[in-house]
Amino acid sequence: MKHEQQNLAVSIFSFMFILLFSALAISAEPQIEIDFETQVLPIFQNRCFSCHSASKADPNGTITKPKGGVELDNVKGIETSLHGEVIIAGEPQDSLLYQRITLPEGEASIMPPSEAGAPLTKLETDLIQKWIAHGANYGKWTGNQSASKPLTTDTHPHQPTVMPPITSLAFSHDGKSVVACSQAGLHVYDWQTLTLQRTIAVQARNTHDLAFSPDGDQLAVSGGNPATDGIIEIFSWPEGKSLHVLRKHRDSVTAVAWRDNLSLASASLDRDIILWDLRTGTSVQRLKGHSRGVSSLCFLDDKQTLVSTGVDQNVRVWNLATGELIRSLNNHTLPAHDLALRPNQIGLPMVASASDDRTVRLWQPTIGRMVKFARLKEAPLNIAWLNNGSKIVAACADGVVRLVDPDSVEVTGEIPALNGWAYSLAVHPTDGSVIIGGPNAQVKKLPVASYQ
């Protein structure tokens, strides 16, 4: 019973946490005091920090200065920008910041500038308006938290959790940078030093998944606004220029998988999977079959067979030539979070799945067989294969990373990595290490090759 409750909690948490986090950020009750850190700061982080963070040097010594002399990532900066105060407590209409975010769309001086995406929503500008009207109180926040701080592996259990969780991680193909996504947008870090190289603003309020195209020249970011719309944004890499914004889902997009350099599939809490053609920027196929939200996708090497899983506990196999659901495999007993194709597989393709039922299961999707499963002490939230296919790495709900041998299905390593849920992980393309991400923007580099 205890376990079931824990599993249920994990399941609800992992699917709802980010949604709740954002609901907090936008539910401006007129009577209720607005909390800067949880409500206003995420908007600044998401939409302004990429241009308005305190001066910082990248690893080459190039200094990036805040645009317009306005720093929004610390209280001092907000109060003493080049042009004086941009916020006048109690007077939203006279506050330059409020004026600039409420200009009509298309106006040259609107913030964020039109090339950095859509204007803030009315909910967001109203929230900022109320916060200024109520006295622009920053609470305990003094700033400079995410934008200019390098990623650290330190954790501060006594500090309040103010940083959003890292929901996905991906290495650039050259292995030199790692991209982390969270509610604060995309942060690009140098892999050797884990220092922040740059941030990239994204349109989605919440982000859930990242994936580089097979040639490494594009990065897809998925997310959305809970229960409203799902967004997939495609960036050029390494430029970080937004190339496409794909919006046909009616709820957050939890996962993206590239089919080739010009097409990809997306999975959403709206229960559908959509295939997109990037030559036209349109949807070409919509796959219906999951009875609840879809959480993960993976293509087999033939690029005709797609495997999906989700909250309905089923692993489903689709034939994209016909658009048909070929089979549904229902061995999981609780929602499933992730799928990963075994690399360098000889013989029938093999896919691993991770579920709240605390198992990692191995499937041969083309013949509809569950081959084996490993039972873990805690629920695996995110899984990946080591590059040679010798182990499955599982980031688990207790912050521990577990290594699973696919042949013996034994857990061969347990490495404590983070405080709290280890939401995300990525395997480095060559150096035998992995990166793990979790709550409060925690990340950790683990040399897993040495634990094998």
Query: Looking only at residues 162 through 201 of this chain, which bind ligand HEC when binding is defined by CB under 6 A?
Result: 201
Spatial contact of 352 and 343, defined as CB atoms under 8 Å apart: no
51 binds ligand HEC (CB under 6 A): yes
> How many angstroms from the chain centroid is the CA of residue 340?
17
Spatial contact of 265 and 220, defined as CB atoms under 8 Å apart: no
Residue 81 or 168: which CB sits closer to ligand HEC? Answer: 81
Interface region with ligand HEC, contact rule CB under 6 A, candidates 64-72, 234-242, 288-296, 344-352: 64-72
For the bound state, the minimum distance from the C-beta of residue 102 to ligand HEC, rounded and expressed in Å, comes to: 10
| Gap between the Cα atoms of 275 and 281, Å rounded | 10
| Gap between the Cα atoms of 148 and 145, Å rounded | 7
Q: If we measure between CA atoms, which residue out of 312, 309, 302 comes closest to residue 333?
A: 312
Output the CA angle 140-143-148, nearest 5 degrees. Answer: 155
For the bound state, the minimum distance from the C-beta of residue 110 to ligand HEC, rounded and expressed in Å, comes to: 9
122 binds ligand HEC (CB under 6 A): no
100 binds ligand HEC (CB under 6 A): yes
Q: Where are the alpha helices (DSSP H) in 108-261?
A: 122-133
The pattern of x and - marking residues 8 through 47 that bind ligand HEC according to CB under 6 A reads ---------------------------------------x
Q: If we measure between CA atoms, which residue out of 276, 385, 400, 281 comes closest to residue 340?
A: 385
Contact with ligand HEC (CB under 6 A) among 60, 109, 322, 344 = 109
Contact with ligand HEC (CB under 6 A) among 10, 40, 41, 86 = 86
Upstream peptide bond of 113 is cis (omega within 30 degrees of 0): no
Angle formed by the axes of helices 2-26 and 122-133, nearest 10° = 80
Three-class secondary structure of residue 178 per DSSP: strand
Residue 47 or 391: which CB sits closer to ligand HEC? Answer: 47
Spatial contact of 276 and 265, defined as CB atoms under 8 Å apart: yes
Residue 24 phi/psi, 5-degree rounding, is -55, -40
Residue 119 or 349: which CB sits closer to ligand HEC? Answer: 119
For the bound state, the minimum distance from the C-beta of residue 57 to ligand HEC, rounded and expressed in Å, comes to: 19
The pattern of x and - marking residues 66 through 85 that bind ligand HEC according to CB under 6 A reads -xx-x------------x--
For the bound state, the minimum distance from the C-beta of residue 382 to ligand HEC, rounded and expressed in Å, comes to: 30
Residue 120 or 151: which CB sits closer to ligand HEC? Answer: 120
Residues facing residue 329 across a β-bridge: 315
Contact with ligand HEC (CB under 6 A) among 10, 18, 78, 111 = 111
Residue 95 or 266: which CB sits closer to ligand HEC? Answer: 95
Query: Looking only at residues 289 through 348 of this chain, which bind ligand HEC when binding is defined by CB under 6 A?
Result: none
132 binds ligand HEC (CB under 6 A): no
Any idea what DSSP says for residue 132?
Answer: H
371 binds ligand HEC (CB under 6 A): no
Contact with ligand HEC (CB under 6 A) among 19, 116, 325, 326 = 116
Any idea what DSSP says for residue 81?
Answer: B
For the bound state, the minimum distance from the C-beta of residue 93 to ligand HEC, rounded and expressed in Å, comes to: 14
Any idea what DSSP says for residue 22?
Answer: H
Residue 65 phi/psi, 5-degree rounding, is -100, 155
Largest Cα span, the chain: 69
Site size toward ligand HEC (CB under 6 A) is 21
Interface region with ligand HEC, contact rule CB under 6 A, candidates 106-114, 213-221, 267-275, 282-290: 106-114
The pattern of x and - marking residues 194 through 233 that bind ligand HEC according to CB under 6 A reads -------x--------------------------------
For the bound state, the minimum distance from the C-beta of residue 307 to ligand HEC, rounded and expressed in Å, comes to: 38
- Take residue 229 and report the two structure tokens written for it: 């719309």
Residues 6+ apart with CB under 8 A from 292: 271, 310, 311, 312, 335
Q: If we measure between CA atoms, which residue out of 246, 263, 241 comes closest to residue 204?
A: 246
Residue 176 or 241: which CB sits closer to ligand HEC? Answer: 241
For the bound state, the minimum distance from the C-beta of residue 202 to ligand HEC, rounded and expressed in Å, comes to: 11
Residue 22 phi/psi, 5-degree rounding, is -75, -35
Instruction: Say how many C-beta atoms besides its own lie within 10 A of residue 300's C-beta.
Output: 18
Output the CA angle 22-222-213, nearest 5 degrees. Answer: 155
113 binds ligand HEC (CB under 6 A): yes
For the bound state, the minimum distance from the C-beta of residue 81 to ligand HEC, rounded and expressed in Å, comes to: 7
Which residues contact ligand HEC (rule: CB under 6 A)? 47-48, 50-52, 67-68, 70, 83, 86, 96-97, 100-101, 109, 111-113, 116, 120, 201
